[in-house]
């Protein structure tokens, strides 16, 4: 019985998905002959038996060094009704706090703390307080400068707007700051956004080096996933969460589909569904959406 689906996706800017690669994947996982083309030369669905899980590492090894992702999911309930996504290094290419620090001349110092936190080596709330404290006294105008550096990742708008067009609810949930999430949410079309608040002095001209409380960290991301699902009457099995860092792990593990997006090693070790070489378009292909219905490009 073909209870699962292998979604094979090529990074369209650098390679194409040819018949030889598709055959390799199908044969390695004992997949069905009948495949569904989601996007010519970019993405296909291959029905597979449950035993494909055991053979997936062999396929990953065979594809090593190629700009192709292979994600195995259950055939039932593929299209999710709730999207909860991280922002930094997921929806946007940036780590916005690191960009802010760079404009303050503290780039390397703060980036080192960020890396330790995202790799799970440092408690998130502690890392956030340490980094923000270093910004005390700097002008709030740095926020606008950092905003000019922000770049959406390929497929971000398509992911959000396609899911919304098909009835899903979407939320941007970040350990970063509302200054950025509100703008990114507007650019992509998220229904709502949640993040930490970066406090300014009474004149609104300088950073105080503090954040509002409580700190939005990994447990809050999980709680938001659960509360949004409950509020909209959506079973957790019908949710998808996307993120890259250690603070995303609780929600990635709890969602019906947790997708590790170009993630840190600690996340890759814990989350089986991974997008490592392609774009956020893959998060749509994995749900069975063909490129012909994508919105927001």
State pLDDT tens for residues 227-241.
999 999 999 999 999
Q: Is there a single domain that holds both residue 211 and residue 67?
A: no
Q: Is there a single domain that holds both residue 286 and residue 180?
A: yes
What pLDDT digit, counting tens, does each position of 34-55 carry? Answer: 999 999 999 999 999 999 999 9
The verdict on whether 99 is a catalytic residue reads no
Q: Note the pLDDT of residue 113.
A: 86
Q: Is there a single domain that holds both residue 61 and residue 89?
A: no
Following CA atoms 218, 180, 191, 279 in sequence, which dihedral angle do they give, to the nearest 10 degrees? -80
CA distances from 89 to 146, 152, 231, 238, 241 (A): 15, 9, 28, 24, 14
Q: How many domains does the chain have?
A: 2
Q: Are 216 and 195 in contact (CB under 8 A)?
A: yes
Q: Is there a single domain that holds both residue 58 and residue 160?
A: no
pLDDT above 70 covers what percent of the chain? 100
Residue 115 has pLDDT above 90, yes or no: no
Burial of 1 (0-12, 13-18, 19+ CB in 10 A): exposed
Q: Is there a single domain that holds both residue 18 and residue 89?
A: no
Three-state secondary structure of 205-220: CEEEEEECCCCCCHHH
User: Is residue 21 domain-resident?
Assistant: yes
Q: Note the pLDDT of residue 118.
A: 80
User: Is residue 114 domain-resident?
Assistant: no
Helices in the chain by DSSP H: which ranges?
19-28, 52-62, 96-103, 107-118, 124-133, 141-147, 156-165, 178-188, 218-231, 249-254, 265-268, 281-285
> Residue 280: what are its φ and ψ, rounded to 5°?
-70, -15
User: Is residue 145 domain-resident?
Assistant: no
The verdict on whether 88 is a catalytic residue reads yes
Among the listed residues 45, 86, 98, 99, the single catalytic one is: 86
Q: Note the pLDDT of residue 221.
A: 97
Q: Is there a single domain that holds both residue 34 and residue 163?
A: no
Q: Is there a single domain that holds both residue 70 and residue 162?
A: no
Q: Is there a single domain that holds both residue 89 and residue 223?
A: yes
Residue 211 has pLDDT above 90, yes or no: yes
Which one of 46, 76, 106 terminates a domain?
76
What pLDDT digit, counting tens, does each position of 242-283 carry? Answer: 999 999 999 999 999 999 999 999 999 999 999 999 999 999
Tell me the mean pLDDT in the region 196-222: 93
User: Is residue 147 domain-resident?
Assistant: no
Q: Is there a single domain that holds both residue 158 and residue 281?
A: yes
Smallest Cα–Cα separation from 291: which of 6, 9, 76?
9
Arithmetic mean of pLDDT over the chain? 95
Minimum mean pLDDT among 1-10, 63-72, 118-127: which range? 118-127
Containing structural domain, residue 179: 78-94+152-297
Residue 297 has pLDDT above 80, yes or no: no
Q: Is there a single domain that holds both residue 181 and residue 296?
A: yes
Tokens of 281: 């378009």
Which CATH number does the domain housing residue 22 bear?
3.30.70
pLDDT-derived band at 1, boundaries 50, 70, 90:
confident
Q: Note the pLDDT of residue 56.
A: 94
Among the listed residues 45, 88, 99, 193, the single catalytic one is: 88
Q: Is there a single domain that holds both residue 273 and residue 181?
A: yes
User: Is residue 224 domain-resident?
Assistant: yes
CA distances from 70 to 151, 167, 200, 238 (A): 26, 26, 45, 21
Q: What Rg value do the Cα atoms of the chain yield, rounded? A: 20
Q: Is there a single domain that holds both residue 265 and residue 239?
A: yes
User: Is residue 124 domain-resident?
Assistant: no
Residue 177 has pLDDT above 90, yes or no: yes
Q: Note the pLDDT of residue 287.
A: 98
Rounded distance, CA 88 to CA 38, Å?
28
């Amino acid at each position: 019985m073909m209870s699962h689906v292998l979604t094979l996706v090529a990074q369209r800017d650098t390679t194409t998905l040819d018949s030889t690669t598709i055959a390799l994947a199908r044969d390695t996982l004992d997949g069905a002959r009948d495949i569904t083309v989601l996007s010519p030369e970019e993405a296909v669905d291959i029905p597979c038996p449950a035993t494909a899980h055991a053979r997936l590492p062999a396929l990953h090894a065979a594809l090593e060094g190629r700009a192709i992702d292979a994600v195995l999911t259950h055939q039932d309930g593929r299209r999710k009704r709730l999207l909860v996504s991280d922002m930094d290094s997921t929806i946007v290419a940036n780590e916005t706090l690191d960009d802010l620090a760079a404009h303050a001349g503290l780039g390397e110092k703060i980036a080192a703390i960020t890396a330790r936190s995202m790799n799970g080596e440092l408690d998130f709330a502690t890392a956030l307080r340490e980094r923000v404290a270093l910004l005390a006294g700097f002008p709030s105008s740095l926020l606008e400068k950092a905003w000019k550096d922000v770049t959406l990742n390929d497929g971000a708008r398509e992911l959000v707007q396609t899911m919304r067009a098909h009835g899903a609810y979407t939320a941007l949930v970040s350990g970063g700051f509302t200054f950025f999430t509100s703008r990114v949410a507007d650019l992509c079309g998220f229904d709502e956004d949640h993040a930490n608040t970066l406090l300014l002095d009474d004149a609104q001209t300088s950073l105080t080096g503090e954040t509002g409380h409580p700190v939005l960290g990994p447990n809050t991301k999980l709680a938001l996933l659960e509360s949004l699902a409950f509020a909209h009457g959506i079973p957790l099995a019908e949710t998808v969460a996307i993120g890259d860092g250690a603070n995303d792990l609780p929600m990635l593990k709890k969602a019906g589909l947790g997708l590790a997006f170009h993630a840190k090693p600690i996340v890759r070790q814990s989350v089986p569904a991974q997008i490592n070489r392609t774009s956020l378009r893959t998060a749509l292909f994995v749900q069975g959406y063909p490129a012909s219905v994508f919105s927001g490009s």
